[in-house]
Structure 1
């Protein structure tokens, strides 16, 4: 499972979704889905833009967590 830390990063930088959308040109709906971790897929250009804008590395924005399988 991929965890998105956009809400934490934005909170630390005191940013609103509308500010990030306006400044980056990323669709507000895309940012909202990332913020609430309901996003199913994302474009690599979007990830690159967010990392540059927020001045974070990829692993600060996204994290892979291994899913435990039920027996």
Structure 2
């Protein structure tokens, strides 16, 4: 099972930069960058709340749960 962070593509759809999201949320830009690169080791609920609030989106807009493929 794997959680995919789709924040980078969502920001591109909205025409927003990582830097702007960082400024609007107060989340450090390196943390936003890690999320956009899908390299975050943890996703604090507080950060997810801030991002969803600023982007006016749902969690499923920026996160995706993928089940293991039994055929692989």
Fold in common (TM above 0.5): yes
| 1:11 Cα deviation from its structure 2 partner | 0.2
Q: 1:54: which partner in 2? A: 55
SS at match of 2:49: helix
Q: 1:13: which partner in 2? A: 14
Determine the C-alpha separation between the residues in 1 that align with 2:22 and 2:68. Answer: 31
TM-score for both structures, normalised by structure 2 = 0.89
User: What RMSD, in angstroms, separates the aligned Cα atoms of the two structures?
Assistant: 1.5
TM-score for both structures, normalised by structure 1 = 0.91
SS at match of 2:19: helix
User: Unpaired segments of 5 or more residues in structure 2?
Assistant: none
Aligned structure 1 segments of 4 or more residues deviating by more than 4 angstroms: none
| 1:49 Cα deviation from its structure 2 partner | 0.5
